Amino acid sequence: MSDIRDTQRRLLGYLKPHLPVLVGGLACAAMTAAITAGIAKFIEMALDAMRYGNIRRLTWMCISVVAIFLIKGIFSFGQSYLLSLTANRVATRLRDEIYSHLHHLSLAFFNRRRTGAILSTITSDVPVLQAASMSLKDAISAPITIAISLAGLFYYSWRLALISLIFIPFMALVIQRIGKRIRSISGEVQAKLADVTTIVEETVSGVRIIKSFATETEEVQRFSTENHNTMKWVMRGVRKSSQLRPLTEFIGAFGIALVLYLGGIEVSHTNLVIKAQERTYYAADPLRYSRPAPEFKDPRGGLTQGGLMAFVYLLNALARTAGDIGGIVTLREQALAAARRIFGEILNVESDVKEQPDPIYLPRLAGQVKFEDVCFRYGDDDPDVLSHITFEASPGQIIALVGRSGSGKSTLVDLIPRFYDPTGGQILIDGVDIRTVGIQSLRRQIGIVPQETWLFAGTLRDNIAYGNSSASDEEVRSAAYAANAAFIESMPHRFETVVGERGIRLSGGERQRIAIARAILMNPRILILDEATSSLDASSEALVQEALDVLMKGRTTIVIAHRLSTVVNADRILVIDGGKILEVGSHRDLVAAGGKYAELYERQSRGFED
């Protein structure tokens, strides 16, 4: 229960900045509700005017109704516009906060979460809260309608009003029972929608693999299964929410039927009394037959036809509003389920990599990198991926990391730009513990060329200048030529050529050279090459290797090498196995030592790859 209260309190915090607009919208909703309930009096007056033949009053009533509905229309527009403005502002702020918070989380978060589930939070959960914000008009208009309707009911007949109220506890019980079930179903629906979004994201991203293995039918079946499971949960929620209004209206129908019966008897009695009064009135002076009788009332306050119709109108408004409360309960439960996902799965998550309150901002680096007894594990219950790693790279040196797949090489280099923090030991750059450094000032001096290059769906220029948007056209062009990316000159629009999503219009070697050009333009002091040529053919590898040689000059470079032939000129080679450094030395020294490196090198020389 406290969790629900905390969630509600936090959601209300998002409305606070928009309080003036919200209050304006709710005031318009209140006026609309008051006018709607107040129409009951006009119904009574119009019917009684017809009953007594008072054409003058009837005319005035018709003119008043037109004016009142014009005023109601103005307030109705105000409530819709102002509350929509509030709802959209809240949704926009939430999306901004979610997106911003995602960019401040460490890679560990994205390793634990499915991409589709993250996307679903923005595309499915936020709209639910947006719809809930719009329902605030019902939350304010419903109590007003109920209050005015109840006052009107007691005004017209306190006896019938008390009889009508007998049915309200039954309505409240139905709303409470169904609302509780809707809350649990809403959570399941949002989770299922996240599963569907995940499948779409995976299949769109992996469409080349799907077509390569001709598994379109299986993927369609997988999506269809999840999609239909989602539909089943959605329909469970629909069944429950759809039961609210019919059940409340059905209960209300008993009240209306009873009111019509008892009220009809009371109106009949009133009419008998009025007719008796009219006979007495005309009998006293036969000349009075030439004009209508005055409007007699039952001296005991009995109902007239107009009063009964006004009572039924108010009772119907009360029952309809009870049904609306059911809708409000549904939206509230859906909103709480969505909010718990937004807060619990994203906004409440703290990054594993935290920046200190007053971090050190690094000047231009010399490029010394030092690992001191570094250990790392991904989770508290997981085994160490790296164990007591100690080595040093002096400015301008090339350090190569070699070893079998899964030995911990990529994890080691991920620690340098603080994608993760070590669980033991420390990493120093130019003698400064990187945990005390401003993350951006650190990462802006580290260039990374990965094995799988990610390009954005913009132009070649945009991708080269990514991270350095202020670069001039000449600087971009120079970086491209230095990266052996002369192929750009043959592209349809040269540097303004759109590369497509993930650079789909470029070959692997071309994408890699764009990534190198991006790193050259960034001009980092520390360079990380994560198997940058392992997936390329021989001709592409030669071009990329030439570009890498240009990039590495004068920079401290950490190279993860799959092909040992590419690191024979490294200043030092670290052989990693099982998260530990087994051997350290130059290529010549390690081959001469006849250890693990010599074994790997011999196998590759004979054409065997690990």
End-to-end CA distance of the chain: 56
d(C-alpha 388, C-alpha 118), whole Å: 35
C-beta contacts of 97-106 below 8 A and 24+ residues apart: 97/347, 98/122, 98/126, 98/342, 98/346, 98/347, 101/346, 101/347, 101/349, 102/346, 104/351, 105/349, 105/351, 106/351, 106/352, 106/353, 106/419, 106/420
pLDDT tens, 292-310? Answer: 555 555 545 566 777 778 8
Q: Which residue has the tokens 């650190």?
A: 442
Higher pLDDT, 610 or 513: 513
Looking at residue 525, the DSSP 8-state letter turns out to be S
Worst-scoring range by mean pLDDT, 331-345, 431-445, 499-513, 560-574? 499-513
User: In whole numbers, what is the pLDDT of the chain averaged over residues?
Assistant: 78
What per-residue string of b and e applies to 306-335 under the rule 16 or more CB within 10 Å gives b? bbbbbbbbbbbbbbbbbbbbbbbbbbbbbb
Distance of CA 187 to the CA centre of its chain: 14
Worst-scoring range by mean pLDDT, 129-138, 207-216, 227-236, 448-457? 207-216
Contacts (Cβ under 8 Å, ≥6 apart) of 346: 98, 101, 102, 118, 121
C-beta separation of 546 from 520 below 8 A: no
pLDDT tens, 194-209? Answer: 777 777 766 766 665 6
pLDDT class of 597 with cuts at 50, 70, 90: confident
Question: How many CB atoms lie under 10 A from the CB of residue 2?
Answer: 6
Worst-scoring range by mean pLDDT, 299-303, 448-452, 547-551? 299-303
C-beta separation of 428 from 434 below 8 A: yes
The torsion angle over the Cα atoms of residues 182, 186, 192 and 196, rounded to 10 degrees, is: 120
pLDDT tens, 462-479? Answer: 888 887 778 888 888 888
Contacts (Cβ under 8 Å, ≥6 apart) of 509: 536, 537, 539, 540, 541, 543, 544
pLDDT at position 538: 62
**In this structure, what token pair is assigned to residue 604?**
């590759």
Q: In what order do the strands lie in the sheet with 446-449?
A: 446-449, 526-530, 556-560, 398-402, 572-577, 580-585
pTM of the model as a whole: 0.69
- Strand-pair partners of 398: 557
C-beta separation of 186 from 337 below 8 A: yes
d(C-alpha 112, C-alpha 110), whole Å: 5
Instruction: For 531-566, give the DSSP string.
Output: STTTTS-HHHHHHHHHHHHHHHTTSEEEEE-SSGGG
Angstrom CA distances, 459 to 248, 474, 497, 521, 523, stand at 59, 16, 5, 16, 21
What per-residue string of b and e applies to 260-292 under the rule 16 or more CB within 10 Å gives b? bebbeebbeebbebbeebeeeeeeeeeeeeeee
Higher pLDDT, 73 or 321: 73
Task: Indicate whether 273 pLDDT > 90.
Answer: no
d(C-alpha 573, C-alpha 600), whole Å: 13
Task: Indicate whether 607 pLDDT > 70.
Answer: no
pLDDT class of 537 with cuts at 50, 70, 90: low
pLDDT at position 569: 81
